[in-house]
Amino acid sequence: MQILESIILILTLLIVANIISHYFVSIPPSLIQIAAGILAAVFMKVQISVDTEWFMLAFIAPILFNDGNRFPKRELWKLRGPILGNAVILVIVSTVVGGMIVKLLIPSLTWSVAFTLVAVLSPTDPIAVQSIAKKAHIPDKLLHLISGESLINDASGLICFKYGVAATVTGVFSLKSATMDFFYISIMGALAGAIMIWIFNGIRLYLINQGVDDSILHAIIQIIIPFIIYYIAEDVFSVSGVVAVVIAGIMNISSSRTVSAFSPEIRLVTSRTWDLVVYVLNGIVFVLLGIEIPFAMTKLVHNDNISTFGAIGLSFIIWIMLVVIRFIWSYIYTTFAKNGDDDFILFSKERFDYCLMSGISGVRGAVTMVGVLSIPLTISGGAAFPSRTLVLFIASTVIIFSLVGATLLIPILTKSSAPVAYRGNSFNDDNVEIDDEAEDTEVVDTQIELDQYQANKFVLEKTIDKLKDENEENENIVYSTVIAEYLYNIHNLSISSDYPAPISKKRVKNKKDAELWDICFNCELEAIEELYSEEEISEDAYNSAVKKITKYKKEIVRHRYSQSVEFFLNYFRRTYRSIRKIIRTSFIKREEVIQFDQDAMKISIAGAQRALAKLHELDKNEHGDVADNLVYVFQRHYEDRLDLLQGKHKHRSPEFNSERISVEIQALSYQRAYVQDLLEQGKISKSTANELRQNINYSEEVINVDLD
């Protein structure tokens, strides 16, 4: 009963604090949550003790998994060098140098406690900077660097913290053993996280393949994944659960190509559920921080070695120390990384400002608080953990100083007045206006009430007609792309109303699909033979391309296994190809890789051009055995491939995405209008109309989620 009362109280404080934060937007919500906890501790005499193991599991696992899942993978890979430098080397340097300085500042602390304190202060919270990125003139590279760094330094910082706590509790520390253990539990933790998320991804995709598309079920599976991975990594394999959940989050299904296997409803419910979980967990952490501060202050008042005001002063000095260490590291790194031997510039004002901003933006947040609250109360033998209240107070105060410092100084450095937010407190651009008014349309001339499938097909067809009317010249690739997506849906509706998916070599629905794929593959093979006969491609590239297309042709014509076996075989093949590609690019000479890729691009372009010419010929001759819409879908497939390969693909440009979102939103408004017409004319029931509108709303929310 006491646990339940504590949870209700903390959630109530969190709600009240967040309501207040909406009226004081210039104050970070995290500071208001801390204040709420302080007031509860002072006036309500609230004290909450936490268990180390469950606290790390309940807070660290979901927070870090969510951070890894949402971080843009391309930027993470591009900045892998500086990210690893900041996240590993800087953390170790900060722990060693900072621990020595803290020991000098506070002689009463043992060496292990001093290192523990600095280690737990190492993880940074990037959301403070990300939240003002749109209004502040912070360099994109710095934003991505801080974000990527936070993923890894959360892991490395907490591992160092774990060793510091263990040394304090047991009184034993070996640098050699700690170093070997550090690399072992980190590498094996990463491997364990990668394998487990690969299994979970396969299970989720298999459930979709089997038609299990319950959005609540998939959201629950997604939520429990980090807890299971963290628990198995720590308790079963005795490796770093922190590293495991970070790697799992990075490798979790999040790419646009794979996410498309999930319906808009599943993606929406899962995304909003994660928002709720992270929002609550981060709020609870800062409320608990506020509750602990008065307790720590009370202990310090009766401490003869140090006063409360002295501890506050030390906290400020330690925060400045962390900023300076980070600044010096960033300046040295950027100096030697940016300058060549022939053009060495020691001082640059631009670089100075950049590194100063980097130092200040390394704010401490939820992960630091989770770590410091998990410090055990006792050590071996039953004695109290030395200076626990002092460490808790200093860490808490440094967090507050870093929050306030970022709030005040970042806008000054960037000449911006944007508010600052932290993990779990985001600013969403959901103010997209949608026009529900559309032209009156003539509906089907029938007195029979349409079921959901018939009505959905009719609405999609009318929407396509409307979009085609707006794209009369058929020259706007944005309209063509959106039309192709609608045709995908209609094509799959006609085959299976509960399993929509775009065309795929691995997902042939009927004879018409197989016939068109066979025609297109034959064209690609002809193009490959022509290139090879003219000696424009290497023998290795020729053999690889022919083998791949031949395999596709066999799989389309003949399926030797059950649907489940076929799914898992394909899943293993995709994984194998991904691993092989990584190994090939890592160990083969760069010149050979470049040549092979160039030949592969020639093959893809020539094959797409030959197949596209054949498809236009079929369309022109009104091929009677193939549906017109299906030919159009295949044309768009090869046109998109050509645009991508020839550098004309605009799908990833901000301009293309912006225009595409506008067209998609307008198309949704057309759908709403057609559904309303069907309902008013008695062609569909209210329940059918509500189902169709709900699907439209889900699609619209997915667009808004992508915008966020």
> Residue 651 class from Cβ within 10 Å (0-12 exposed, 13-18 middle, 19+ buried)?
middle
Higher pLDDT, 146 or 664: 664
Tell me the CATH number of domain 2-414, given options 3.30.70.100, 3.40.50.150, 3.40.950.10, 1.20.1530.20.
1.20.1530.20
pLDDT at 421 over 60: no
Within 10 Å of residue 179's Cβ, how many Cβ atoms? 11
**Local structure of 384: helix, strand or coil:** strand
The pLDDT score that the predictor gives to residue 682 is: 79
pLDDT tens-digit map of 564-597: 776 777 778 778 777 777 776 666 655 666 777 7
The mean pLDDT value for 246-252 works out to 88
Instruction: Please tell me the distance from the alpha carbon of residue 611 to that of residue 604, in angstroms, as a whole number.
Output: 10
The mean pLDDT value for 461-477 works out to 76
User: Which residue in this structure is represented by tokens 């722990």?
Assistant: 95
pLDDT at 544 over 80: yes
Instruction: Please tell me the distance from the alpha carbon of residue 355 to that of residue 30, in angstroms, as a whole number.
Output: 25
pTM of the complete model: 0.67
Higher pLDDT, 517 or 12: 12
Instruction: State which amino acid sits at residue 187.
Output: I
**Local structure of 518: helix, strand or coil:** helix
Instruction: Please tell me the distance from the alpha carbon of residue 211 to that of residue 217, in angstroms, as a whole number.
Output: 13
pLDDT tens-digit map of 314-340: 999 999 999 999 889 888 887 776 554
Task: List, by residue range, all CATH 1.20.1530.20 domains of the chain.
Answer: 2-414
pLDDT at 415 over 80: no
User: Which residue in this structure is represented by tokens 């003869």?
Assistant: 304
pLDDT at 295 over 90: no
pLDDT tens-digit map of 169-203: 887 777 777 778 778 888 899 999 999 999 998 99
Instruction: Please tell me the distance from the alpha carbon of residue 80 to that of residue 296, in angstroms, as a whole number.
Output: 39
The pLDDT score that the predictor gives to residue 430 is: 39
Residues 6+ apart with CB under 8 A from 703: 432, 661, 664, 665
Q: Are 121 and 375 in contact (CB under 8 A)?
A: no
pLDDT tens-digit map of 676-706: 888 877 788 888 888 888 778 767 666 665 5
The pLDDT score that the predictor gives to residue 650 is: 45
Higher pLDDT, 441 or 375: 375
Instruction: State which amino acid sits at residue 141.
Output: K
The average confidence (pLDDT) of the chain is 76
First to last CA, the chain: 39
What angle do helix axes 140-170 and 366-373 make, rounded to 10 degrees?
0
Across the strands, what pairs with 384? 378
Helices assigned H by DSSP within 232-307: 241-251, 256-259, 264-301
Q: What are phi and psi of 172, to 5 degrees?
A: -125, 135
User: SS3 breakdown of the chain: % helix, strand, coil, rounded to 5?
Assistant: 75, 0, 25
Instruction: Please tell me the distance from the alpha carbon of residue 257 to that of residue 563, in angstroms, as a whole number.
Output: 21
pLDDT at 637 over 70: yes
pLDDT at 226 over 90: yes
The mean pLDDT value for 356-363 works out to 80
